[in-house]
Each structure stands twice: as C-alpha cells, then as structure tokens.
C-alpha cells in the first residue's frame, strides 16, 4: 500500500492550523470554565466540611459538659438525699423521745392512746400483711365514738374530787380575780409545765 502524498498550499495549511487553533481555544475555554465550576464546588464542600467539623466539636464539647453536669448533679442529689435521710432519722429519734415523754406524762389521755395505736399500726404496716391492719385500725380510730370534747368545768370537778377538800374554791376558779389563770391551768394539768 502506498502512501499518497497530497500537496497543500500555504493558505490551506494556514486555514487548517487556524481551524485547529480555534477548536483548541474553544475546548480550552470550555475546560477552564468546567475547572472553575469544579474549584467553586470544591471550595463550597470544604466550607461545609469546616462548618460540620465546627458543629461536631461544639456538640462533643456540649455532650462532655452535659455528662459532667449530670455526674455532678447526681453526686449532689445523692449527698442531699443522705443529708435529708440523716435529718429525718434525727427527727424520728427526737420525735420518739418526745412521744415517749408524752406517754409517760399523760398515760390516761385518750388522744395519746389513739396516737399510740396509730403509731403501732404504722409500724405494723411495714410488714405486707400489716397494711390491711393499718387501714382498718385508722378507720376505727377515725370512727371512734369516744371523741372527748374539752369541758373545763368537768376537769375542775375531777380535780376537786381527786384532791379532796383542801380549801379549793370553785368560785375562785370561775371568777379568778387576781389569780393567775395560767398557773391554775398548769396546776389542774390542763397545760404543760406543771412543776
């Protein structure tokens, strides 16, 4: 196979070269435009990535701070719970001592007897079968027909009967004049502080 030689004139060569150059310049401009778009997209993606990394670091820092706060709150709550429990134990101890002194000082008081019954029922309620007993016992205490109404005249008559005839004058009690009513009430046992 032989190679065929074609002779081109200078004008044809210049025309072909210009045509190739124009096509090359056109493709180059197109590729530069595509390159610019890709660079802009890359910069946009890099900016978004930087924002996401900033948000991630903020979220991680917030989570760490929240975890530390939660641990601190739990520790504080446990300490407060322990302090409150200790305070309640001291209160129960003081209350039991006070209640015992009331029982010792006023053993015949119906209010004290009712309180003793309720206290015993509450203590029994810590046993599973005791809950029903507690409810029934409280109902019986509430429904108790033996509710006393305070009658000072009756208390005075009881006092006179108990102490006998010792010069105590009922008129002086009902019309005390210069008597100290508070001292008289203490002596009759109507108020605490009887010495």
pLDDT by 10-residue block (mean), the chain, 195 residues? 74 90 94 95 95 94 94 94 91 82 76 74 62 58 54 71 58 61 71 57
User: Structure pTM?
Assistant: 0.37
Whether 2 maps to a domain, the answer reads no
Instruction: Report pLDDT for 139.
Output: 56
Whether 3 maps to a domain, the answer reads no
- Taking the C-alpha atoms of residue 179 and residue 172, their distance in angstroms, rounded to an integer, is 8
**Residue 21 domain boundaries:** 11-105
Whether 1 maps to a domain, the answer reads no
Instruction: Report pLDDT for 67.
Output: 95
Whether 72 maps to a domain, the answer reads yes
Residues 185 and 171 placed together within one structural domain of the fold: yes
Residues 101 and 124 placed together within one structural domain of the fold: no
Tell which residue, 97, 139, 93, 101, has the closest CA to residue 117: 139
Instruction: Report pLDDT for 195.
Output: 45
Instruction: Report pLDDT for 143.
Output: 53
Tell which residue, 156, 187, 154, 186, has the closest CA to residue 169: 156
Residues 29 and 59 placed together within one structural domain of the fold: yes
Element counts in the chain: helices (H) and strands (E): 6, 0
Residues 20 and 68 placed together within one structural domain of the fold: yes
Residue listed under structure tokens 């008081």:
109
* Domains of the chain: total: 3
- Taking the C-alpha atoms of residue 163 and residue 170, their distance in angstroms, rounded to an integer, is 13
Whether 6 maps to a domain, the answer reads no
Whether 4 maps to a domain, the answer reads no
């Amino acid at each position: 196979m032989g190679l065929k030689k074609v002779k081109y004139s200078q004008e044809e060569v210049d025309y072909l070269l210009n045509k190739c150059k124009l096509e090359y310049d056109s493709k180059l401009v197109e590729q530069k435009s595509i390159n610019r778009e890709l660079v802009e997209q890359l910069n946009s993606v890099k900016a978004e990535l930087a924002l996401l990394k900033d948000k991630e670091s903020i979220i991680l820092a917030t989570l760490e701070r929240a975890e530390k706060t939660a641990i601190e709150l739990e520790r504080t709550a446990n300490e407060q719970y322990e302090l409150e429990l200790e305070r309640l134990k001291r209160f129960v101890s003081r209350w039991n001592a006070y209640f015992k002194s009331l029982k010792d000082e006023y053993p015949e008081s119906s209010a004290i007897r009712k309180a003793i019954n309720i206290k015993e029922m509450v203590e029994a309620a810590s046993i599973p079968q005791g809950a029903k007993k507690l409810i029934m016992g409280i109902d019986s205490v509430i429904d108790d027909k033996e509710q006393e109404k305070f009658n000072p005249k009756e208390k005075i008559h009881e006092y006179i009967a108990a102490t006998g005839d010792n010069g105590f004058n009922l008129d002086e009690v009902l019309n005390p004049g210069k008597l100290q009513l508070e001292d008289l009430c203490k002596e009759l046992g109507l108020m605490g502080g009887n010495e």
